[in-house]
Amino acid sequence: MNQKANSNALFSPFQLGDLTLQNRIALSPMTRARAGSMQIPNALMAEYYSQRSEAGLLITEGTFISKQAVGWVNAPGIYTDEQAEAWKIVTEAVHSKGSKIFLQLWHCGRASHSAFHGGELAVAPSAIKLNDKYIHTPDGKKDLEVPRALDTDEIPQIVEDYKQAARRAKEAGFDGVEIHSANGYLIDEFLQSKTNKRTDRYGGSLENRFRFLHEIVNAVTEVWPANRVCVRLSPNGNYNDMGSEDYRESFTYFASQLDKVGLACLHVLDGLAFGFHELGEPMKLNEFRKIFSAPIIGNCGYTQETAEAAIQEGNADMIAFGRPFISNPDLVERFRNGWSLAADAEMGAWFSFEKEGYTDFEFYDLGS
């Protein structure tokens, strides 16, 4: 048995709030686009999550909290009772394997298009266009548009949408929720000075830019106890045209404020595999460890060895894996036994809308 199989920390049980997890490996939230045009979870999605249920914690793909939140073709929603009911086949499949699953709450913000919204512009904290080549819409590839800046009196309704989505997640049988505050989507757009030029109480100072997320966390924790709620941040990322000059000061402040809540965890995309804004030295997990006392999940580009080291060194409590889980549904067992990993899947297969590139990856063949 090789050195990989001798790792211990990754496979040790972990107490996440009041949940006992079977190991410290998480399935990272990844948009897989199999919910169809009505954004309703289905048996194929249940099979996908069930296949990967050896992870201690599964975090679902981003899930739209409202119609306004939509910005990705065939991604799922949690804003209707029908959607919530359909998610039950997923949660039941995961629970039958002994694992736990959180739903990721998502609003795309400016990373959307009027083609998703009957001709209405996407919304954002400020009317600043996302600088990218195009966006995939129900009508095909489209040029990105300048979003509409939200009026101050519109924001409470979005906060309420998060609360109602969290309520439906509980009814659907999830073990908790993750508030997606990363990767250039709506909450991240409010947090970062690059995309937030507001002059009301939601813009300007660090306190004001944090206010939107703070209100969402407060609303969601009226539905769930705080130790069943996770927040995801991406301090180093440039995805969706992000990256602010004051990133270190900003994310240090945000994490310190979130520490007061008693969250289940802070999920940090500290790795650079998803893109790096190159505005200074990347923020590392040990910086967050100094200011955030609850569990920390590291993410983005980890290998088994670097994940083990992050936990052994005390910088992370869990590590989330994304792309390796796509083509290795049995990733946990491959790590545990030192088995080789399957090659990364071609990106073109990730969004086939069918089982290809989704549930058709083989488990390790002991006879090979």
Residue 134 falls in the annotated catalytic set: no
pTM over 0.95: yes
**Residue 283 CA to its chain's centroid (Å):** 18
Between 155-171 and 81-96, two packed helices, what is the crossing angle to 10 degrees?
Answer: 40
> Measured between alpha carbons, how far is 206 from 364 in angstroms, rounded to an integer?
48
Does the structure show a pLDDT above 60 at 192? yes
pLDDT at 1: 29
Domain 16-299+309-318 has CATH 3.20.20.70: yes
pLDDT at 4: 43
Does the structure show a pLDDT above 60 at 295? yes
Confidence class for position 366, pLDDT limits 50, 70, 90: confident
% of the chain at pLDDT higher than 90: 92
Amino acid at 202: Y
pLDDT at 349: 76
Instruction: Give 9-54 pLDDT, tens digit per residue.
Output: 999 999 999 999 999 999 999 999 999 999 999 999 999 999 999 9
User: Per the residue annotation, which of 162, 185, 202, 239 is the catalytic one?
Assistant: 185
Burial of 322 (0-12, 13-18, 19+ CB in 10 A): buried
pLDDT at 158: 98
Residue 100 pairs with which residues in a beta bridge? 57
pLDDT at 353: 80
Confidence class for position 344, pLDDT limits 50, 70, 90: confident
